[in-house]
Amino acid sequence: MAEHLIIDRNACAGHGLCYGGAPEILDCDDQGDPVLLVDPIPDDQLDKARLVVSICPERALSLQSR
């Protein structure tokens, strides 16, 4: 099963920790909101994805297996 990073846009406050912590996975748009660069998350990037999920102060990120 593949892992997908889910962004709760209603919860996101635009702190930027996610795209700063995993620039291979996330970037920001013109408004400072996170944008996924890859989906699903490559196996070699799962640790970084887990890290940004854990450091998001708004709990706006989650990983989901599909």
pLDDT of 9-47, one tens digit each? Answer: 999 999 999 999 999 999 999 988 999 999 999 999 999
CA 44 distance to own-chain centroid:
15
Per-residue pLDDT, 13: 94
* All domains of the chain in start order, with CATH: 3-65 (3.30.70.20)
With a cut of 90, say whether residue 49 has pLDDT above it.
yes
Name the residue among 39, 43, 49 with its Cα closest to residue 4: 39
Per-residue pLDDT, 6: 97
The whole model's pTM is what? Answer: 0.90
33 CB neighbour count, 10 Å cutoff: 15
